Structure 1
Amino acid sequence: MIGLADVRDYIATLSLTKDENVYSGKLDNKKDKSIGIYNLKQNTGARICLGGLESTPYRIKPISILVHWNKSQRDTEKVSMQLYELLQNSSKIQINNEKVSYIKMLSDEPIDVGTDDSGVYESVIQIEIYYER
């Protein structure tokens, strides 16, 4: 099974920012150049193939990634696109010893969500991680 903290650990290995600036569940104190990993809040229901669980070859982990970067829209967009492309082009990876089949990008590019109260630009990347059961 892949948990939120496992995805956080994987994103940290991509070295876009310091390990201590990658969070799961909550982005504490919102340091500049931080990345937050959250469960994607969507209700799609359980995905079980005909024949039950033994006939269901994969699971899906829906994730929302918040890139909280700095006061430069250009810098924030650049690092968000780097992360997006790393995820989109990932292959033959494992997260928490689970074989990832692929990562489905849920939008064509990172979603610009403007700035926080401090004027730091943010963007969101929404993905679904398909992995073997």
Structure 2
Amino acid sequence: MNPLFRSPYLCLLFWLLSLALCFGGATFLATAQEGPNMGASYQQQAIAISKELRCPMATNQTLFESQAPIAHELKGQIFSLLEQGLKRDEVIDFMVQRYGEKIRYQPEFKTSTFALWIGPLLLLILGVGLCLVLISRNKKSTY
């Protein structure tokens, strides 16, 4: 028989330590499995936000598409802001305050961006109207 287990107190201590390690390990595993799921949620939110913001260095690319060094920094900053508890709109507002309205890939509809939103529609209507006028003139001249 092992001399360590001759004493009933040492045997009891051994079993208590074994149980503590088992339950402590199970608690640690449960906590460790919750962490990546929350990180994945933040990661999905950060990806969605980075698809809505324009890269300051790359031409016509979102932060998600860009490989510029500043894009990587901004994506990391978005992730850290989400981890700090900021919501999607708050993160976007933070980026707009820091880099200006130009960082939005699709700017908000307001008076300063009115021409960006209505201009293409007006040009399309003008072009279709011009085509209709030219077609009607061409039909009149052939008869």
Q: TM-score range by the shorter chain?
A: under 0.3
Instruction: Choose between structure 1 and 2 for higher RCO, CA contacts under 8 A separated by at least 6 residues.
Output: 1
The structure that is helix-richer by fraction is: 2
Query: Higher strand share goes to which structure?
Result: 1
Give TM-score, length-normalised by structure 1.
0.24
TM-score, structure 2 length as denominator?
A: 0.22
Which structure has the greater CA radius of gyration? 2
